[in-house]
Amino acid sequence: MRISFGRLFKPHEAHQGVSNPVTSAQLQKKIASDFAKKPEGWHPQVCYNFALKVGVLEGKISNHFKQELMSGAKVGGYPLGFSDKMGITASNTQKYFDHTKITGSGIINFIDDQVGAVVHTAYLQKEDGGSVHIYHANCMTLDMALLGDAPDVPKVGCVTHYEVSDHYTQNRLQCWLDGGYSFKFTPASKLSI
């Protein structure tokens, strides 16, 4: 615990929304700077690690939660108990993405409908103005869907970034989901060990 600006600050408060709001532009600068200074901090290069790291940089997920989750045994490429910690069940996944239903930043897990397992993880940032941004890596089919007609993949450090609150990108995300995926969004405020 430390004192900051005349009040007690507890490390676990970061994922409870106590931190100051971070804009998308500020988060992108943090990602680029952190990756340039400490690229080894982005290892292992798996989607869920990237998603958690972005959440830590935004100040919404505690580094303790990330480290505890990453240190566990892996099953099917994901940490043991990952779905439980994210609150994923067969009955609470969704097929339709509506950015207005995203109430805060957090983790979005994509589930292969045929297999019934998590196959990709990304981070959603909800800005105070209502826009929603996705940060992810290692899923080229999702990049191709979100990219649309844009000539270049929008990279920030080692992750890609898209605003998914505009109508066109949200529709492209929905088309990708309609190809055999569902999702579960877990607000960062619900993530703790």
Half-sphere CA count of 9, side-chain side, radius 13 A: 14
Q: Give CA–CA dist 110/120, Å, rounded.
A: 5
How confident is the model at residue 17, as a pLDDT?
43
How confident is the model at residue 76, as a pLDDT?
85
Q: Give CA–CA dist 73/108, Å, rounded.
A: 21
How confident is the model at residue 19, as a pLDDT?
55
What is the full per-residue pLDDT of the chain (193 aa) written as tens digits? 433 333 333 444 444 444 578 999 999 999 999 999 999 989 999 999 999 999 999 999 999 999 999 988 998 889 999 999 999 998 999 999 999 999 999 999 999 999 999 999 999 999 999 999 999 999 999 999 999 887 788 899 999 999 999 999 999 999 999 999 999 999 999 997 5
Q: Cβ distance 14 to 62 under 8 Å?
A: yes
Q: Give CA–CA dist 165/128, Å, rounded.
A: 13
**The whole model's pTM is what?**
0.88
Q: Give CA–CA dist 96/112, Å, rounded.
A: 14
How confident is the model at residue 90, as a pLDDT?
85
Q: What residues does 161 pair with on adjacent strands?
A: 135
